[in-house]
Every structure is written in C-alpha cells, then in structure tokens.
Structure 1
Amino acid sequence: MSPVLKFKSRSGLHPNPARPIISIGTINVDQLMGPVTHWPDPGTETVYPDYEMRVGGGLGNFGAALKALGAKQHMVVNVGDDAMGDWLQSQFGVLADHWHRSQTVTSVTIGMTHADKERTFLSNEGHSSVFDAEMVRAMLVGTKLDGAIALVVGSFLMPRLLPDCADILAELHQGGAIVALDTAWPTGGWSSGVQAHLESWLDHVDVLLINDAEAAGILGISVPEFDRDVEGCLARIADKLHDDAIIVIKRGASGATAFGHGTITHVPVPEHVAVVDTVGAGDCFNAGFLMALQQNADLKSALRAGIDVAGKAIASQPRRYPELSDLSTDVAAILAGGVKSRAQTITFDQMENS
C-alpha cells in the first residue's frame, strides 16, 4: 500500500455561495464541419454533410455550461469588433454587457471532424492575441472577490496577458478569491519557458484543474508513466503548490482523481456515456466541479458533479449543455444548494479530513 501523503493544512478553502464564479480566459467561435474522409487537394471544393457553429474556447465552454446550470457567474473576456463578436455576445445576454470589444477580428476555430471522431483544428489569432491585464482589471472593478471562485483558463493562448498572469493570480488571491487554474495544453509544449511561467503562478493557485496529459507534461513524463504511479505523481505536483491547494486530474473515460489535504479521491464514470463530441469536455467538468465547490460540497461530490455535467454535454449533438433537471438527482441537489449536510456547516478542508 502506498504511504499516506500529507499536506500541512492552514486555513482551508472558504467558498461563499453568494459570490459569483469568475472566469478569465479565451472565448471564440467554433465552426465544426465534416466528416472528412480525405484531406482536400489544393484548389478544390468539398461539401460536407455536418456543420455546427457554437461558442468555443475554454472560457466560452465553461461559461455556457454554467449558464445552462443557472450559476452565478462573471465572465472576464474580450471579443473582436465584428459580426462574430456580436454573435458571441448575443449567446450570453446580460452576462456579456461588460465584455471588452477589441479593434480586431474575432478568433474563430474551424474544426474538421473525422470518421473516428478525432478533429483537426484551424484557428486565427484574432482578439485573444490582444487580451491583456488592463482589460482584466477593468472588468473586475466592483466585483466582490472575497469567497468568490475565480478560474483562469487558457493563459498560454493569450500572449499579451501571459507576462502579467502571475500578478493577476496574486491580486485575485490577495482579494480573498479561491483561485482555480486550468493550464490547457500550451501550443509549444511544456518548454522551459512554459514551466517557468507555471512555477510563478502556482503559489497563488488553490485549485489546479488539469487532465492526465497535462499532468504528465508538467512532470516531463508520458501519460502511461503517470498512470502507473498516480499517487506519486500527484505528490510531485503538490510540492509545487501551497499546502491547502487541491489538484484535480481529469482522466476521460476513467473518471477524475483529486489530491488534497493528504487524501486521494477517485470517482469513476458511473455509467456508459455514448460520446458524440468531446470538445470542451474538460471545461464542462470544470463548471460542474467548481459550482459544487461553490456550494461547499465535499470533494467526492464535486468530482461527481464535474463528471455528470461533462458526460451529459459530450453525449449531445448538436451541443446542448445540461440544465439541473438533466443531471442525477443528488448532483442537481448539490448544485442547487439544496443538500443539508455537514458540507454546508464546516469548511471544505474539514470535510476532506472527516
């Protein structure tokens, strides 16, 4: 049996359900087309039967999932000053009233689907390439941070924000927010420069949300190596974060694993999911997990909520983000704040040690 791995618990996490879930990151328009059976030759035209246009990007998927669940949220994002930017804002109503409109085109991703459900993505730089710390701070003015959950997602896709990302995370943390980070996969891989940025961020991170490939990349190992020693690998990542931090590994069909306060918690996928479209699965998991955390759910329940929300989303075509009524009864009750349990009367870290 592996040894029990311990954190030195300090103050724990104290989410306030009255505060919004804040998200800072990338949003774009996704246009999916296919199935592609062979790559078209230059100069030719090919017609495909399937097409869908929808909100994309880490923050876009996350925000759309939270919106369907009826969560309190505050989105910190920019879009281009064009028709695509208008369309993105129209998908979020009053949630988009304060978004920054940048004098450039909106970022668009063309996803070419293949028969084996894999996809090839083609994206332009667009508005995400000019998103910066000044815009972030302006959109946070007047937002109460104490007890709020703040997710930063896709930092490596925002080159102007990247140099100031550590400062933004620190300001959120100092303001009393519970800071969550989803690194996403850096386009250039886990280079020494990327690792240096990550090292400067992790002191300010309370909840690290990554998948198994990202976890392996951070450690410079392969996914099979990570799978062979999950507990040891989580301990190595935990050494990079502060004592109260929680690490969540999204593991696809294998479920999700979390490490916090000396305890590893694993939740498998409870039933077969007829997967249609995995794009944004991790972002949907983040929505369910963080919304449960906001309601002071225990760690196992939060993992179950993330899995349930993601599973319902990736089984839909065209994409439909689940509402509370679509989820299992106990998960829906947790997200609605309707469960009277110890999780509502003690702190998150105490629940994990009980």
Structure 2
Amino acid sequence: MRKTPKTLHPDPARDIISIGTINIDQLLGPVDHWPDRGTETVYPDYEMRVGGGGGIFGAALLALGAHQRMVVNIGNDEMGQWLKSQFGPLADHWHHSKTVTSVTIGLTHSDKERTFLSNEGHSALFDADMARKMLKHAKLDGSIALLVGNFLMPRLVPDCTALLCDLRDAGAIVALDTAWPTGGWTDTVQDHLQNWLPLVDILLINEAEAAGLLGITSDDFTANVDAHMRAISPKLAPGAIVVVKRGSQGASACTGEHVLHAAPFEKINVIDTVGAGDCFNAGFLLAFQRGVDLVDCLHTGIDVAGKAIASHPRRYPTLADLNARIRTLLTSAPHPRPTNNHKTFDQVENG
C-alpha cells in the first residue's frame, strides 16, 4: 500500500471536487409516534430539497461561491432532472443511470433528530468507471477531492482503493467522509478502511463514526477525545488531518500528536440537523483551500453548518452571511500556485 508523504498545500485556483451520493430528500414531520398500520397521519412540516452527502456538500459550496466539480450520477427520470436544475452548468457532465433516482424520506422528530428511509435507485449503480469518466479532463494537481458516502455506493467500494491511488498520483489532496456504514462497523467495513485510510489526507467524521472506526462506544470516545483522535491519526497518510464533528460542542482536529478544538461562536437555534456534517465539510474545505489556519477552518465549518441547520426552509449561507472575521479570512486574495505542467487526471491515469 502506497503511503507517500505529501505536503498539504491546496491550490485555491483549483476545483474542490466531490465524488459521492446525491439524491432527493423529502422531509416530513415531526414524527414522534409510529402510526398504526392501515392508518393515515397528517404532519405539518414538509420540504423537498437536494440530499446525499455529495449533493448537500455541492449545494453549500455553490452558495459560498466556491470553484467546484461534482462527480455524481442521477436517475433517468423527472427527479433526476429536478436535481440537475438545482446546479445549472455544474450538472452538465453528470452520469445518467437507467434507473430511478434515489429518494430519501426523512422523518424529523421533536428532539431535532431524524430517521431516514431510502430506496437504492441510482446510487446503487455508481462505480469508479463513472467517476473516472467525469474526472477525465480535470486538473487535479493541487485540488481537494472529497469522497463521501462510499458505503452507500456498493459498486464503487471494490475499486475505491485504486481510485484513491489515482487521485493521489494526480496530485490531489484526498479527503474522506465515511458517513455511517449502512450495515454498521463490520469486519468487512474495517477491512476496506484499512486499505483506504493510508491514502487519505483529511478525514472528516463525527463522534459516532470515530467511535465505530476505533471499535469503542461513543461515550468512551467523548470521555477522552484527544487520546482517541491521536489513535486515529497514524492510520492515515503522513501529515494527514483528522477532523471530528462534535455537534453542539463544535469540532476538533488532530495532526500527529497535536489536537485543537473549536466551539460555535454563538448558540445555534437548530431547526433540523439533516446535512449538518456535509455543510461543515464545505466550510472547512473551502477555508483549508484558501490557506486559513486550521482552527479557523474548524470555525468556518461550524459557522456554515450552524447557519444552514438554523434555516427553514433550508437555505445555505453565502459568504456575506458568515461571521465577520471568517468572512474576511475567506475573501482575502489567495495566491494560486503556478499553472505550468499540470497534468489532467486522464494523463496521469494513462501515463
């Protein structure tokens, strides 16, 4: 397994690339008691919006005005066309699969938690060949490439290690959000992660996922966050960053033995938490791409996520909506790297 040291200096002129799931979220609630079979129950709240880790991440970056490329597939139906309509030219190269679009019914609850019911749809057909085709002419040297929701795309999983190697060989900084494996943290899931993590430069997970990765309980993880983050760090590529999203507590990051924490600037009036982690990813990676200090990357992710989950209907924040200091950091003129001799993904893959 290649574990080549690299310096994490992204090029702000490059795209932030997402490779992952996109679907339609239909949110209904609040549901606090499961209805009896054969009955009908009417709930006051309903909203349809872009869902999936890649979709929400892309929508948040779109609102922030980031350079991005979305590597996703959609179903060959009206739902797929609706998803395309939300992203304009960003959707021109998406793969159309000959099946229905994946839809998630999100049941919201009074305690702000949620339960998801999803059909397989197009996400079950996404594979590495589709990803490579959509990346064919992308300039990856200095880009950030985020893989999100891998375990929701079963055809991608067997070839994911090779795809990660290709991205790193092309000069991309590789980020991974494992999300929660649908079958839990089984031995098979852990085996896949043993292959993937040494190729990851930025790991973006929540507390429950961090605990699952380590084979401990969430309570054990929160009892000693610093030590457990340091235990995850050696599993990644040299110089990598472990980021753990911690809900109302904010977020933490670990590089080697050094752990730092960031709390929200203010109390967040949570409306619904759907997509909070994906919004955090968007803010964190945009700030990281623009050369912001690591603690302020955490603060940016927290602010973007906090503004999103406090909105109803869902609205993703623009730069103008963010904390004034964070906004200043993000709008400071970046210094793009020289553009000579940049190879495309296709040139690296076939070199």
Q: Which residue of 2 aligns with 1:303?
A: 298
CA distance in 2: counterparts of 1:294 and 1:339, whole angstroms: 9
Please give the TM-score of this superposition, normalised by the length of structure 1: 0.91
Q: Which residue of 1 aligns with 2:203?
A: 208
CA distance in 1: counterparts of 2:139 and 2:317, whole angstroms: 28
Deviations 1:150-201 (A, max 9, x none): 0000000000001011111111011000000000000111111000000100
Answering whether residue 133 of structure 2 is matched by residue 138 of structure 1, we say yes
- Tell me how far 1:261 sits from its aligned partner: 4.2
CA distance in 2: counterparts of 1:144 and 1:339, whole angstroms: 18
CA distance in 1: counterparts of 2:123 and 2:302, whole angstroms: 28
Q: Which residue of 2 aligns with 1:328?
A: 323
Deviations 1:15-72 (A, max 9, x none): 0000000000000000011222432222222222211000000011100000000000
Correspondent of 1:192 among 187, 190, 199: 187
CA distance in 2: counterparts of 1:241 and 1:117, whole angstroms: 33
SS at match of 1:239: helix
CA distance in 1: counterparts of 2:293 and 2:110, whole angstroms: 40
Q: Which residue of 2 aligns with 1:278?
A: 273
CA distance in 1: counterparts of 2:70 and 2:266, whole angstroms: 32
Stretch moving more, 112-121 or 234-243 = 112-121
Q: Is the 8 A contact 1:156 1:187 kept in 2?
A: yes
Runs of 4+ aligned structure 1 residues displaced above 6 Å come to none
Please give the TM-score of this superposition, normalised by the length of structure 2: 0.92
- Tell me how far 1:333 sits from its aligned partner: 2.1
Q: Unaligned 5+ residue runs, structure 1?
A: 1-8, 345-354
SS at match of 1:40: coil
- Tell me how far 1:287 sits from its aligned partner: 0.2
- Tell me how far 1:277 sits from its aligned partner: 0.7
- Tell me how far 1:118 sits from its aligned partner: 2.3
Q: Which amino acid is 2:160 matched to?
A: C
Q: Which residue of 2 aligns with 1:40?
A: 35
Stretch moving more, 46-55 or 276-285 = 46-55
Correspondent of 1:85 among 68, 80, 89: 80
- Tell me how far 1:339 sits from its aligned partner: 7.7
Q: Is the 8 A contact 2:144 2:172 kept in 1?
A: yes
Q: Which residue of 1 aligns with 2:219?
A: 224
Answering whether residue 81 of structure 2 is matched by residue 123 of structure 1, we say no
CA distance in 2: counterparts of 1:267 and 1:326, whole angstroms: 19
Q: Which amino acid is 2:17 matched to?
A: I
Q: Which amino acid is 2:95 matched to?
A: H
Stretch moving more, 149-158 or 260-269 = 260-269
Q: Which residue of 2 aligns with 1:106?
A: 101
Q: Which residue of 2 aligns with 1:291?
A: 286
- Tell me how far 1:332 sits from its aligned partner: 1.4
Q: Which amino acid is 1:228 matched to?
A: A
Stretch moving more, 254-263 or 187-196 = 254-263
Answering whether residue 52 of structure 2 is matched by residue 26 of structure 1, we say no
- The correspondence of residues 243-282 of structure 1 with structure 2, limited to 5 A, is 243-282=238-277
Correspondent of 1:72 among 58, 67, 70: 67
- Tell me how far 1:10 sits from its aligned partner: 5.2
CA distance in 1: counterparts of 2:31 and 2:308, whole angstroms: 23
SS at match of 2:18: strand
Aligned length: 333
Identity of aligned residues (%): 64
Q: Which amino acid is 2:48 matched to?
A: M
